Structure 1
Amino acid sequence: MDQFDLIVVGSGPAGRRGAIQAAKLGKRVLVIEQGKRVGGVSVHTGTIPSKTLRETALNLSGWRERGFYGRAYRVKQEISAADLRRRLLITLDHEVEVLEHQFARNRVQHMRGKASFVDPQTLQVVKDDGEVLHVTGASILLAVGTKPFRPDYMPFDGKTVLDSDELLEIEDLPRSMVVIGAGVIGIEYATIFSALDTQVTLIDPKSTMLDFIDKEIVEDFIYQLRDRNMKLLLGQKAEKVIRQNGKVELLLDNGRHIVTDMVLFAAGRMGATDTLNLAAAGIEADNRGRLSVNPETFATNVPHIFAAGDVVGFPSLASTSMEQGRIAARVAVGAIAKEPPKYFPYGIYAVPEISTCGLSEEEVKERHIPYECGIARFRETSRGHIMGLDTGLLKMIFSLKTRRLLGVHIVGEGATELVHIGQAVLNLKGTVEYFVENTFNYPTLAEAYKIAGLDAWNRMGDIKSEL
């Protein structure tokens, strides 16, 4: 029986970052991955595939150039599912190669197989050929990620009714699509296929979407979706889904019928913990398969067993999962783990992108903080004109008392890149004067920070409030 300082189950963002961190500290580390290749959900069915699909769709459809050449403009007239997959496979091969090299360089051992607990320190690993191994770890990090929620009432067939994993394997692009679920994944795929000129209808039982995002940003985002003829049926629920004659018919709770070529069910995900035999380790998952942890150390109720990444729930971002895995690994092997900076960016890779960092206007109001906002529209920048942008909005919120930046919120082209300027200022406790007094490259979209800063400064005045 092999013994390790740290065993990591799962090689996604949390698992690989945790494993490499422990190895850099001189520990003996084993990563167990049940997938065919290392990388986890992030590389093979989640983050990297969906973002690659998005970039390919925008490039081949000529989406970014339509501001100049009209809505009928396309780089490739007939775009196929094979066109989308071609770039995806190249990207995935590169990601796996980089990860395997990182493991080799840092002397992280890894094996392919399905892991389950025998006792709190022992894992059984069943390999593809049926061989069974047992390994023990002084500490264990569970970074198994999530899988799509697949309710029994949904007639999945992998062709006309799919989950988000199956969507990557479609053979033909649908002329029409219904997306059930207005969460991050549903919205990303709905807007990507809309950019490919698929007629998309988005359905969700809630009357609102993306409630954790600043409301003004969501309103601008919804306006853009409706402007390009996406149907948003919020506050409505699909009660029945029937496959017939190559089409799918949906019956909504208000009596409405919808007929479509394809249905994507993207209403939630579940922690991939059902095969781990958690009871043998003394751990219990919630009804969605997620694990509860100490938010500072990521330890479960069993002190030497840790969990990180999507399996512990919100915010379920690859970026935060990496940091969670690193912190968990340091604690697991007895190293000091510094608390991460307070503010991290949240990115939604829809079309258009949304990214946010810090407090929303609604959160500022709830805390009764006197504040002022500054807004810039991308069309106000020279770079925006050069790129043909009619839309795009950057919003900053400042404290009237301290003049410090409280939050930055962006919807539009490059939002997930631009947000890092605001993130740095937030974590360094910068004020509105930073944006007013500093020089930004011209012409760039980043110049929107100066425009929004000046907008807020003009509204705030040059004297600190006595409120």
Structure 2
Amino acid sequence: MGLTKAGLNVAIIEKESSVGGGCTHWGTIPSKALRHAVSRIIEFNSNPLFCGNNTSLHSTFSNILGHAKTVIDKQTRLRQGFYDRNECTLLYGTARFVDTHSLEVTKSDGTIDTYTADKFVIATGSRPYRPADVDFNHPRIYDSDSILSLEHDPRHIIIYGAGVIGCEYASIFRGLDVKTDLINTRERLLAFLDNEMSDSLSYHFWNSGMMIRNDETYAKIEGTEDGVIIHLNSGKKMRADCLLYANGRTGNTDALNLDAVGLVADSRGQLKVDTNYQTDIDHVYAVGDVIGYPSLASAAYDQGRFVLKPSLKVKPKVS
């Protein structure tokens, strides 16, 4: 939007059927909507004005998903309005580089168009990391994207990975009275926090009835007919109705044909950038989850604004 307002010709290529990206459809917006709904239920049930009358609210994950979907729809319409009002060109399809200044866009009907530009911004985001030895096609094994399609109501869930996403979903499920086991591959929860904050989070999780297993890794994840069994390298075995694998993310760069532009992603599909979010190729920038930490929508907005300044050196074009 900033570049369009400055008079440049700008096109946004979007592979999904609607705008918003991972933040709107699978990340921040749905998880916060779910967490907000659960928080209100907990607040109601903790209020002596209500709980003293033997009145309590109960809901299931599948029920509150409907609330999250309405929030997602509103946010999608809001973002679409931003593009429309600023007359940003939206191209729906999947892009791949052809050479240093050209790329192909494959549309849903199979047609392919080629576009050229002076500069590119790679903002393709990330997806949940899926190790090859975990069967994510099993109906009881989920990642942080597919969990939003959960249709059954588990009584017991195992969450593997205690990062921000794992902890957030652990609090959501436990708030819905689902027995929750949180497996942390590190020694303490959210180690980037001050120790006092990490210890406080652990205490509140434990006090809510959550089981936390620190410094554990899996040897095998086995899907069964009605649940899942996780075999830990410590020798322990745990069984639950379903498992949420939330241990890491992968940058969406594998389909971009980066070789054509001279870029190489790391083992997690992420791109290296400098302080101006410029890659090793002068006219190619990268922002958002595709560059890794901190992987926050608010940070991505600021990164986009940083990219705006050097990009304005390109002379505006008249279409």
TM-score by length of 2: 0.94
1:75, CA displacement in angstroms? 5.2
1:89, CA displacement in angstroms? 2.0
The answer as to whether partners of 1:203 and 1:238 remain within 8 angstroms in 2 is: no
- Helix, strand or coil: the match of 1:138? coil
Q: 1:125 and 2:115 equivalent?
A: no
- Helix, strand or coil: the match of 2:171? helix
Choose which of 68, 89, 97 in structure 2 pairs with 1:109. Answer: 89
User: Counterpart of 2:286?
Assistant: 307
- Helix, strand or coil: the match of 1:135? strand
The answer as to whether partners of 1:204 and 1:233 remain within 8 angstroms in 2 is: yes
Structure 1 stretches of 4+ with a deviation exceeding 6 A read 71-74
User: Counterpart of 1:422?
Assistant: none
Q: 1:143 and 2:126 equivalent?
A: no
1:68, CA displacement in angstroms? 2.9
Aligned AA for 2:91? M
Higher mean C-alpha displacement, 21-30 vs 259-268: 21-30
User: Counterpart of 2:9?
Assistant: 28
Closer, same or farther: CA 85–94 of 1 in aligned 2, 3 Å:
same
User: Counterpart of 1:163?
Assistant: 143
User: Counterpart of 2:317?
Assistant: none
Q: Which structure has the higher relative contact order (CA within 8 Å, separation 6+)? A: 2
RMSD: 1.7
Question: What CA deviation, in whole Å up to 9, does each residue of 1:423-444 have, x standing for no partner?
Answer: xxxxxxxxxxxxxxxxxxxxxx
The answer as to whether partners of 2:270 and 2:290 remain within 8 angstroms in 1 is: yes
Choose which of 289, 293, 298 in structure 1 pairs with 2:273. Answer: 293
1:177, CA displacement in angstroms? 0.5
Aligned length: 312
Provide structure 2 residue ranges, at least 5 long, that are not aligned to the other structure.
315-319
Aligned AA for 1:311? V
The answer as to whether partners of 2:173 and 2:180 remain within 8 angstroms in 1 is: yes
Question: What CA deviation, in whole Å up to 9, does each residue of 1:9-45 have, x standing for no partner?
Answer: xxxxxxxxxxx11112121110000011111111111
The answer as to whether partners of 1:125 and 1:132 remain within 8 angstroms in 2 is: yes
Matched ranges for 1:43-442 at <5 A: 43-59=24-40, 62-69=41-48, 76-77=57-58, 79-157=59-137, 159-295=139-275, 297-334=276-313
The answer as to whether partners of 1:139 and 1:333 remain within 8 angstroms in 2 is: no
1:73, CA displacement in angstroms? 7.4
Provide structure 1 residue ranges, at least 5 long, that are not aligned to the other structure.
1-19, 336-467
User: Counterpart of 1:4?
Assistant: none
Question: Matches of 1:86 and 1:37 in 2, distance apart?
Answer: 18
Aligned AA for 2:136? F
TM-score by length of 1: 0.65
Question: Matches of 2:190 and 2:55 in 1, distance apart?
Answer: 30
Question: Matches of 1:63 and 1:270 in 2, distance apart?
Answer: 34
The answer as to whether partners of 2:188 and 2:198 remain within 8 angstroms in 1 is: no
Question: Matches of 1:85 and 1:45 in 2, distance apart?
Answer: 12
The answer as to whether partners of 1:143 and 1:307 remain within 8 angstroms in 2 is: yes
Aligned AA for 2:204? Q
Question: Matches of 2:185 and 2:156 in 1, distance apart?
Answer: 21
Looking at CA atoms only, which structure, 1 or 2, has the larger radius of gyration? 1
1:58, CA displacement in angstroms? 2.5
Percent identical across equivalent pairs?
33
1:198, CA displacement in angstroms? 0.6
The answer as to whether partners of 1:158 and 1:166 remain within 8 angstroms in 2 is: no
